[in-house]
Structure 1
């Protein structure tokens, strides 16, 4: 029996996004095109990444003997960094690595995640700029997704702005 070639499935929104109704007054929603689905998926990732990076993990670190805890709600978010001295390259690099690891751990819709410091030369500013590059897992081919990220080191707010030219 010959196997048929696999037909790629269209991108599918996560369950929560499918349950949320942006137009509750309409009795039925029109089906989304593949492009609309990918765009909604991008917005969903944007929303969820911003929530992840604005969540703070408890001060105590997870012991190396319990790696499963890193994937639990106890490991969700990034450490509190408001006491850091971000004019020090090592502090900036440590936060960059934490952001990249948190995304790799808690955002399965992204692959090949890379977070880079976007140095603007002014080390006395109270913001740190990062660039997040990744591939959004969709069929038939992954889509590049890029965010310009601003970390306010005094208020601990993280803001993501999508960049569509990858």
Structure 2
């Protein structure tokens, strides 16, 4: 992760980082006695799993990324979608599979105005995959989905480049 953060810190201009951490979240749930449930690479997020992934993504992982960026001179701000109402989601409907507390995004999910303010202040938002439904319920949304939704929403104001980086691939 350190090499990735170093490379990210060298990108000039306004930037946003969205992180996942599914492998670490699965390891943590297993260590706490809850077997991860996955369907087609997507996490089933029951109430107990939501508690754990919220701690892992919004706490441990997010703050490690922010601290790493601060070390490299990037003034990073760690966020979940619930912070500042910056990403609003809708709980995924049950179809063939009940994914539990998983959020889906639409064209109104991203608070572009607030993100613009962060960027204007010289802050680099670092988003974890936790957001909310506006009714007090936290939701887990795939980090790739969040990154794509942010890129699309911000493309109205910025020239956007979206780069996906994964644990086992180079960016």
TM range (shorter): 0.3 to 0.5
Calculate the TM-score normalised by the size of structure 2: 0.38
Is the radius of gyration larger for structure 1 or structure 2? 1
